[in-house]
Amino acid sequence: MKHIACLTAAAATMAGGILYVASALGQTDGDASPIYGIKIPAGYRDWRLISVKQLAGNKLKQLRAQLGNDIAIEAFREGKLPFPDGAIIAALHWNEASSELDNQVLAAGFPGAGLESVFAGSAVNVQFMVKDAKKYAASGGWGYADFTNGKPGDQALHEKCFPCHVPAKDHDYVFTHYAPTP
Ligand code: HEC
């Protein structure tokens, strides 16, 4: 019995070791983005909030959240520019959705106010900017990656990222600013 307990403990330690190695590498399994070779960073869904946006056009309505890893969040809060190596910004995009229940309750609670609430519905894609001034010197120090359903977009898509971020050069190619704390 004691022997089995020892073995179980050993197996748990080994599993912990494997998990540790995976998270130390900081990337999940799966394909990397073309040009920049970036895989989906581990744990990005738990990163802290930089800001939120709405993107609306003739054919789409999206809600978007920008999250940062610890290095990125610290740089945003301190207004540190350029962003230090290791900073990663994630942009999570969803189709806008709404709930009748939410809107009925709001209409009943605030009659005549015409309130309508929307929220993040189905997932669209996730994009990353990874700072490594040397490795990505040709693209302003940032590597770019776009994933839909865990699969990276093609080379043509990734060729468009950096040129389009050039207008934000004065803010180290990052459009998003840190949202005030309410
Ligand atoms: C048509 C121009 C354009 C292209 C192409 C483009 N971006 Fe952006 N990107 C923007 C704008 C404008 C914002 C801010 C508005 C928003 O988030 O919707 C943004 C925001 C971002 C953000 C949040 C950080 C920031 O700069 O605000 C990330 C991450 C990002 N883009 C990654 C990418 C990746 C990866 C690609 C290529 C696959 C890409 N972008 C292609 C214009 C572009």
Domain boundaries, the chain: 1-27, 31-171
Q: Is 149 strand, coil or helix?
A: coil
Over 70: is that where the pLDDT of 72 sits?
yes
Rounded Cα distance between 118 and 103, Å, is: 9
Q: Which of 88, 129, 131, 136 to mutate to test the pocket of ligand 1 (most atoms within 8 A of CB)?
A: 129
Over 70: is that where the pLDDT of 157 sits?
yes
Q: Please name which of 56, 57, 28 lies closest in space to residue 128, comparing C-alpha atoms.
A: 28
Over 70: is that where the pLDDT of 137 sits?
yes
Ligand 1 atom closest to the Cα of residue 168 is: 26
In which band, very low, low, confident or very high, does the pLDDT at 20 lie, cut at 50, 70 and 90? very low
If you average pLDDT over every residue of the chain, what do you get? Answer: 91
Separation of 45 CA from ligand 1 center, angstroms? 18
Please name the residues in contact with 39: beta carbons below 8 A apart, sequence gap of 6 or more: 27, 28, 29, 30, 31, 32, 33, 145
Rounded Cα distance between 176 and 125, Å, is: 17
Q: Please name which of 174, 158, 156 lies closest in space to residue 166, comparing C-alpha atoms.
A: 174
Amino acid in the structure at residue 142: W
Over 90: is that where the pLDDT of 11 sits?
no
Over 90: is that where the pLDDT of 81 sits?
yes
Separation of 61 CA from ligand 1 center, angstroms? 16
Separation of 176 CA from ligand 1 center, angstroms? 9
Predicted pLDDT of residue 3: 53
164 lines ligand 1 (CB under 6 A): yes
Over 50: is that where the pLDDT of 120 sits?
yes
State what percent of residues in the chain have pLDDT above 70. 86
**SS3 helix, strand, coil % of the chain, rounded to 5?**
35, 30, 35
Ligand 1 atom closest to the Cα of residue 145 is: 35
- DSSP, res 157: H
Over 60: is that where the pLDDT of 2 sits?
no
73 lines ligand 1 (CB under 6 A): no
Over 90: is that where the pLDDT of 139 sits?
yes
Predicted pLDDT of residue 28: 87
Nearest CA to ligand 1 atom 14: 175
**Among the CATH numbers 3.40.190.10, 3.50.70.20, 3.30.230.70, 3.30.70.1150, which is that of 31-171?**
3.50.70.20
Predicted pLDDT of residue 85: 98
87 lines ligand 1 (CB under 6 A): no
